[in-house]
Structure 1
Amino acid sequence: MAEIKKGILGGFSGKVGTVVGVNWRGKDIIRSLPKKSKRRPTDLQLMQQIKFKKVIDFLQPIRPVLNLYFGNRVGLKSRYNIATSYMLSNALEMVNDLPIIVLERVLISKGDLVGFLQPTIQLVGTDSFELNWEDNSGQGNAKSTDIVNLVCYCEELNSFEVFQNIESRSGLVVNIPLPTYYNGKKVNFWAFLNSQTKTIASTSIYLGEHTVV
Structure 2
Amino acid sequence: MGTIKQGILGGFSGRVGTVVGGTWKSVHYMRALAINIKDARTDKQLCQRGRFSEVVNFLKIITPFIRIGYRNYEQGKSAYNAATSYLLKYAVTGCGEETALDFEKVRVSRGSLTPALDAAVAVENGKASFSWTDNSDTGDALATDQAMVLVYNKDRQEVVYNVAAGTRGDATAELTLPTGWDSEALAVYLGFCSEDGERVANSVCLKNDAVSTEPGGTDEGEDEGGGSMG
TM-score band by shorter chain is 0.7 to 0.9
Structure 1 residue runs of 4+, over 3 Å off? Answer: 35-40
1:72 aligns with 2:76: no
Q: Which has the higher strand share?
A: 1
**Secondary structure in structure 1 of the residue aligned to 2:122:** strand
3-state SS in 2 of match to 1:68: helix
Deviation at 1:38, TM superposition (A): 6.4
1:93–1:101 Cα contact (<8 Å) kept: yes
Secondary structure of the residue aligned to 1:57 is helix
Alignment-derived partner of residue 110 in structure 1: 110
Partners of 2:43 and 2:129 lie apart in 1 by 46
On the 8 A contact 1:135/1:172 being kept in 2, the answer is yes
* Aligned: 1:153 with 2:152: yes
Q: Which amino acid aligns with 1:49?
A: R
Partner of 2:213: none
The match for 1:49 is 49
Q: Which residue in 2 is equivalent to 1:173? A: 172
Counterpart of 2:186 in 1: which secondary structure? strand
Counterpart amino acid of residue 78 in structure 2: S
Query: Which one-letter code corresponds to 1:118 in the other structure?
Result: D
SS of aligned partner of 1:110: coil
* Mapped contact 1:146–1:196 kept (Cα < 8 A): yes
How far apart in 1 are the matches of 2:97 and 2:57? 19
CA distance in 2, matches of 1:191, 1:132: 10
Deviations 1:156-189, CA, capped at 9 Å, x for gaps: 1111111221101111112222110414212110
Structure 2: gaps (5+ residues): 1-33, 210-223, 226-230
Counterpart of 1:60 in structure 2 is 60
Deviates more, 1:191-200 or 1:40-49: 40-49
Q: Secondary structure of 1:114's partner?
A: coil
Q: Secondary structure at the match of 1:104?
A: coil
TM-score by length of 2: 0.70
Name the CA distance, whole Å, in 2 between partners of 1:93 and 1:159. Answer: 21
Gaps of 5+ in 1: 1-34
Inter-partner Cα distance in structure 1 for 2:51 and 2:35? 22
SS in 1 for 2:110: coil
Contact kept, 8 Å, 1:192 with 1:204, in 2: the verdict is yes
Q: Residue 198 of structure 1: CA displacement?
A: 0.5
The letter for the 2-side match of 1:161 is V
Distance 1:65 1:55 in 2: 15
Task: Give the superposed CA RMSD.
Answer: 2.2
Q: Where do 1:76-91 residues align within 5 Å?
A: 77-91=77-91
Structure with higher Rg: it is 2
Amino acid at match of 1:120: A
Deviation per CA, 1:91-111, whole angstroms, max 9, x where unpaired?
111167631111101000000
**Contact 1:111/1:200 (CA < 8 Å) preserved in 2?**
yes
Moved more, 169-178 or 106-115: 169-178
In the alignment of these two chains, the number of paired residues is: 176
- CA distance in structure 2 between the aligned counterparts of 1:39 and 1:175, rounded to whole angstroms: 55
Contact 2:161 2:175 survives alignment (8 Å)? no
Alpha-carbon distance in 2 for matches of 1:158, 1:54: 11
Identity %: 25
Report how far residue 138 of structure 1 moved.
2.2
- Residue pair 1:69, 1:200 contacting (<8 A) in 2 also: no
Deviation string 1:64-111 (CA, Å, 9 cap, x unpaired) is 221222142212x11211111111111111167631111101000000
Task: Describe the SS at the equivalent of 2:107.
Answer: coil
- C-alpha spacing 1:49/1:95, structure 2 compared with 1 (3 Å): closer
